[in-house]
Structure 1
């Protein structure tokens, strides 16, 4: 597999039949909406992030696939950053407040390491009723929401209640602080 950054918002990825065999895939798997194909795509995107600093979080993606030969094809990934998307949508998304609870601090530490760099908002950590409660301000992508659901539970608790009855542990940069010290 060869990943080439064409521009700040565009990648070209060459995938060969041997790349597919290494992942126990065949070309027909890519035409179906299945977990193997999804896994390959996100592996490619993650590799592009590591190799080319191509960050797709909070972006819309356009995916184009074209055969190059009988045993290879090229995938063009175009990223459309949110600043191009309607400013109204951006204002609505950045105003979102998400509250999640965690039974153990270890769950929160593991989560913080997994989403560092994927979440671009502020976060505050509270201790409330024997649980750790993370308040996240900003837009959560479906990927980040899925990762969070592996570790914690969505809550409907208000921040005012947490400020009054909970103990604030880390203000504004809880995710970054957890990664830095744990």
Structure 2
């Protein structure tokens, strides 16, 4: 579980699917009101307070959950006013000494885009060559974001075995990123808008 502060009143938490499995939570459970999810949220808020001094108690929270297909989940928590007319969830944590009540507006978003980050352009070239030579895919979009290169692939039309092979190659050269596709679209710089793997292999074939 990685937690980072985005602003005074906003944090981003990145949960891998291993983080969820360790707690006996399936991906689809995040959409449901169950005790395990309440416990996970309390754990996240405790860690946010310990690491960043982010105090989530005593006020409404807007919680956005983004499910990423290969990497895990991104949870963005914002302190402040819950939007009018939104659905509020009250989470209660049972504790002998005190009782924390979180008033939350929860929104969920799921993305099918697989995204991996690469520190060096050489790694991007290597991963593209390997994906193309293994006839896995020639598609993809390449972005520059926050000092890294991010390759985004939409595996919607791929069969599961090929999809898993693509992720294995991406993981060999890069790392799963906690950036959501919406953030990438808004703040990232597009380097290759489509057919990125083919493009890069064509220009860097040596």
TM-score (norm 2): 0.39
Name whichever structure is richer in helix by fraction. 1
TM-score (norm 1): 0.44
